Structure 1
Amino acid sequence: MHTIQTTSDDVLEQSLSLYDMNLRLTLRYNSFFRGYQFDLFDIDKDCYITKNKGLSVGSPSLIEFNLPFVLVLIDKSGRGVNSISKEDFNDRMQIVIMSKDEWRASIRQRSQTQNR
């Protein structure tokens, strides 16, 4: 699992080497939706995996792609809600990149905890 801390900058760019892939992640703040959209670029293949994909708290982004991982936006406050202002990205939000198996295990664990 890899954590990307967000900031209130309009554009964030980060190069990552994960899951045997060299990637460039570009996050852009969308003031209309009050959230981030991202581009994911495969550096080795010199092509975009996706452009302008949205992030929503708790929802696995890229789950429908043939990739070994997903991106999940997490609300560190525990409220589990999307941002209401750009400043929420300074300290309340973070992005986690995890394998699909890790994500499925986290869902199973949450489900078991809620059923108790």
Structure 2
Amino acid sequence: MHTIQITSDDVSEQSLSLYNMNLKLTLRYNSILRGYQFDLFDIDKNKFITKNRGLSVGAPSLIECNLPFVLILVDKSGRGVNAKSKEDFNSRMQIVIMEKGEWRASLKRKE
């Protein structure tokens, strides 16, 4: 599992080397939705995996893609709610990247 801290910047980019892939993650704040959308770019293949995908607390993003991992927006406060303001991203939100099997196992532990 890998954790990415989110800032309250309008746009942020990070390069990641995960699961034998070199990736660029671009986060963009959407002021209307009060949330982040992301692009994920495969640097090695020089192509986008996804563009303008939304993030919601607790919902695995990329689950339907042929990738070994999912991205999950986490509310560090434990309330499990989406952001109310842009500042929430700097203080209580983070993105967790985990293998799909690890994510499925975490669901079974919650039951």
Q: TM-score, normalised by structure 1?
A: 0.95
5+ residue gaps, structure 2: none
Aligned partners of 1:14, 1:70: CA distance in 2, in Å? 16
1:93 matched to which residue of 2? 93
Aligned partners of 2:26, 2:67: CA distance in 1, in Å? 18
Is 1:65 aligned with 2:65? yes
Aligned partners of 1:28, 1:87: CA distance in 2, in Å? 14
2:56 matched to which residue of 1? 56
Q: How far off its partner does 1:81 sit?
A: 0.4
Indicate the percent of aligned positions where both proteins have the same amino acid: 78
Aligned partners of 2:21, 2:99: CA distance in 1, in Å? 13
1:14 matched to which residue of 2? 14
5+ residue gaps, structure 1: 112-116
Aligned partners of 1:84, 1:106: CA distance in 2, in Å? 26
Give the ranges of 4+ consecutive aligned residues of structure 1 lying more than 6 Å apart after TM superposition: none
- Give deviations 1:26-60, integer Å, cap 9, x for gaps: 00000011000000000000000000000000000
Q: How many residues align?
A: 111
Larger radius of gyration: 1
| Letter paired with 2:95 | I
| Letter paired with 1:76 | K
Aligned partners of 1:11, 1:46: CA distance in 2, in Å? 21
